[in-house]
Amino acid sequence: MVKVVRAYTNIALIKYWGKADRRLKIPCNSSLSLTLDQFYTETSVNYDTSLESDVFLLDGVLVDNKVSRRVFEFMDVVRERYNIKEYARIESYNHVPQEAGLASSASAFAALAKASTLHLNLDDEEVSRLARLGSGSASRSIYGGFVVWNRGSQHDDSYAKPIEMEPWHDFRMVVCILNDGLKPYPSSVAMNVTQDESPYFDAWVCEAQNDIEQMTTYVINHDIENVGLLAQKNALKMHASLMAANMWYFEPKTLEIMNIVRELQKTIPVYFTMDAGPNVKIMTTEEHVDVLLEHLRDVKTVVCKPGKGIEVYDR
């Protein structure tokens, strides 16, 4: 019987953007996210003494490119940290468009971190630390609901934890998929360029770190207006820091949806956020979803609820 791990994507309301330690992926600021229920990755890892190297299949196809190299480098880290001798056959099915700003790496490396260490029975904090080494945002996809990734200052204290709160059942995030192709530059590249070249980067870090405490309070209180406004401002600040380095992800349709949301804000609680990509995510509550969708008839949308943490099942 093969054990399969399912991990869901997360979308940050307070963004992770910039690394204090690029090798260990220690962030410059803490971040806060929501795990979604509609986008996920399923992965199995089977160690085999007969293998002379790792083997990676993505969606049933043998992969040997930059994606596989990133996976193999992560597996080398796993072997070194936990004294594992064997290579592995890794099979992954990704139910998220890759490199489109929909957090495919978060679910992918969260699932891989758990699947590669199932036999070790690691606790969630340790799996979160490990997942961070593959993709920073993957540290948050270990958990369901609203999650904070504490920036820390070294490997041991940089990990995510769920926010202790009453479930926010009527919170909704409407994902607008405008372009599910590859974005013009990977988020890690854009992040590093921003950190190295943007005159706004230091201000971004200070502002983002200050936003965390406020956002945590708003989320615990189920305060959709303040959650939405702060998340929207935080996303705009992140993108402003990137644009000051002469890079951007906005497309014409991106701006069109942002303007639709801004107009709707005059009457109902709807707010946008954006990650490294052109696709817009809109925060609201269940009662306002239908009105919002009426204004997005020509847009491919996916309505998401708060999702679960990592799951393990037999295949």
Please indicate, yes or no, if residue 311 is contained in any of the structural domains.
no
Please indicate, yes or no, if residue 113 is contained in any of the structural domains.
yes
**pLDDT tens for each residue of 231-253:** 999 999 999 999 999 999 999 99
Q: What is the average per-residue pLDDT within 134-141?
A: 97
What pLDDT does residue 182 have? Answer: 77
Same domain, 177 and 127: no
Same domain, 95 and 71: yes
Same domain, 181 and 86: no
Question: Band of the pLDDT at 129, cuts 50, 70, 90?
Answer: very high
Same domain, 182 and 109: no
* Percent residues over pLDDT 90 in the chain: 90
Contact residues for 300 (Cβ-Cβ < 8 A; gap 6+)? 176, 177, 178
- Does the pLDDT at position 176 exceed 90? yes
What three-state secondary structure class fits 294? helix
Please indicate, yes or no, if residue 43 is contained in any of the structural domains.
yes
Question: Band of the pLDDT at 142, cuts 50, 70, 90?
Answer: very high
> Of 167, 184, 211, which residue is a domain's last?
167
What pLDDT does residue 313 have? Answer: 93
Helix (H) or strand (E) holding 200: none
Identify the CA nearest to 2 among candidates 39, 45, 38, 49. Answer: 45
Q: What is the average per-residue pLDDT within 141-167?
A: 97
Domain count within the chain: 2
Q: Are 202 and 28 in contact (CB under 8 A)?
A: no
**pLDDT tens for each residue of 20-70:** 999 999 999 999 999 999 999 999 999 999 999 999 999 999 988 778 899
Q: Are 107 and 39 in contact (CB under 8 A)?
A: yes
pTM more than 0.75: yes
Strands (E), the chain: 3-14, 19-21, 26-27, 31-48, 55-58, 61-62, 87-95, 146-149, 160-162, 171-177, 271-274, 280-285, 300-304, 311-314
- Does the pLDDT at position 133 exceed 60? yes
Same domain, 233 and 125: no
Q: What is the mean pLDDT of the chain?
A: 95
Please indicate, yes or no, if residue 18 is contained in any of the structural domains.
yes
Same domain, 230 and 266: yes
Tokens standing for residue 170: 């009527």
Same domain, 41 and 114: yes
Same domain, 34 and 142: yes
**pLDDT tens for each residue of 247-286:** 999 999 999 999 999 999 999 999 999 999 999 999 999 9
* Percent residues over pLDDT 70 in the chain: 98
The parent domain of residue 215 ranges over: 171-304
Identify the CA nearest to 301 among candidates 180, 176, 129, 192. Answer: 176
Contact residues for 160 (Cβ-Cβ < 8 A; gap 6+)? 128, 132, 139, 140, 142, 143, 147, 148, 149, 150
**pLDDT tens for each residue of 193-212:** 999 999 999 999 999 999 99
What pLDDT does residue 65 have? Answer: 79
CA dist 61 to 16, 65, 68, 280, Å? 31, 12, 11, 30
Least confident of 52-61, 98-107, 294-303: 98-107
Same domain, 145 and 175: no
Question: Band of the pLDDT at 1, cuts 50, 70, 90?
Answer: confident
Question: Band of the pLDDT at 306, cuts 50, 70, 90?
Answer: very high
- Does the pLDDT at position 99 exceed 60? no
Same domain, 115 and 182: no
Same domain, 44 and 111: yes
Write the CATH number for 75.
Answer: 3.30.230.10
Contact residues for 21 (Cβ-Cβ < 8 A; gap 6+)? 154
Strand partners, 4: 313
